[in-house]
Structure formats: structure tokens, C-alpha cells
Amino acid sequence: MFDAAAGKDAALKPTCEAWNLTPQQVERYFTAAREYPDGTRDAYYWVPCSIKGRLRTQGQDWEFEINGASTATWTSGDTVRKWGCDAKVCESLVLMMPDGNDP
């Protein structure tokens, strides 16, 4: 999905629209990703590309959104969990990996 309102660079639109993940790739992403506390997201970039879906874990249903810059969220009601992946396995799953963009 390309976020046209936030994506000021229309040149990214074809890349975003071509990016997709199979259910197995989504599972690999979340297996390699780590959950992080608020504030850690500054170590990652953001792009106007995302993949959304649903998952079930530990008896709970979640809506997920993976951003092309290797971050993700799980949402269930008012609960939001944040994820990021800097593992080598995620290089082939996302559009942009973190590069130490620490504040």
C-alpha cells in the first residue's frame, strides 16, 4: 500500500505497489523482529509503503502493519505493540533497512 497523502515522493509509488510479502515471509519478519519500547523507533526510517494484515498469536487476534523501512505495529483494541527488524533475514523482506540512524 502506498500512502499517497504522506508519500510526497511519487517516484516511490511503483516500488511500494510492487512490494508484497507472503504469509510465510510475514512470519519470518516477525520471527526475526524484536519488540521495542517507545523511543526506539528513532533508530529506524519511515517510507510511505506498508503491508497490512491480521495475525493470531497466544490466543489473541492482532491487526499488523509492516512499514517498508523495517518497522511494524500490532494493534488489538487500545493495545499497540511496536516492532523493528535489523536482522540480516529482514533485508530481503523490506525496502529499507536501518543503518544506525540513532539520534
Residue 11: predicted pLDDT: 74
* Type of residue found at 3: D
Cα dist from 64 to 10, 14, 50, 57, 102, whole Å: 25, 22, 10, 12, 25
Encode the chain (103 residues) as per-residue pLDDT tens digits: 545 555 566 777 888 899 999 999 999 999 999 998 765 556 788 888 999 999 999 899 999 999 999 999 999 999 999 999 999 999 999 999 988 655 4
**Strand ranges, E, within 1-103:** 34-35, 50-57, 60-67, 71-76, 79-84
Domain ranges of the chain: 10-92
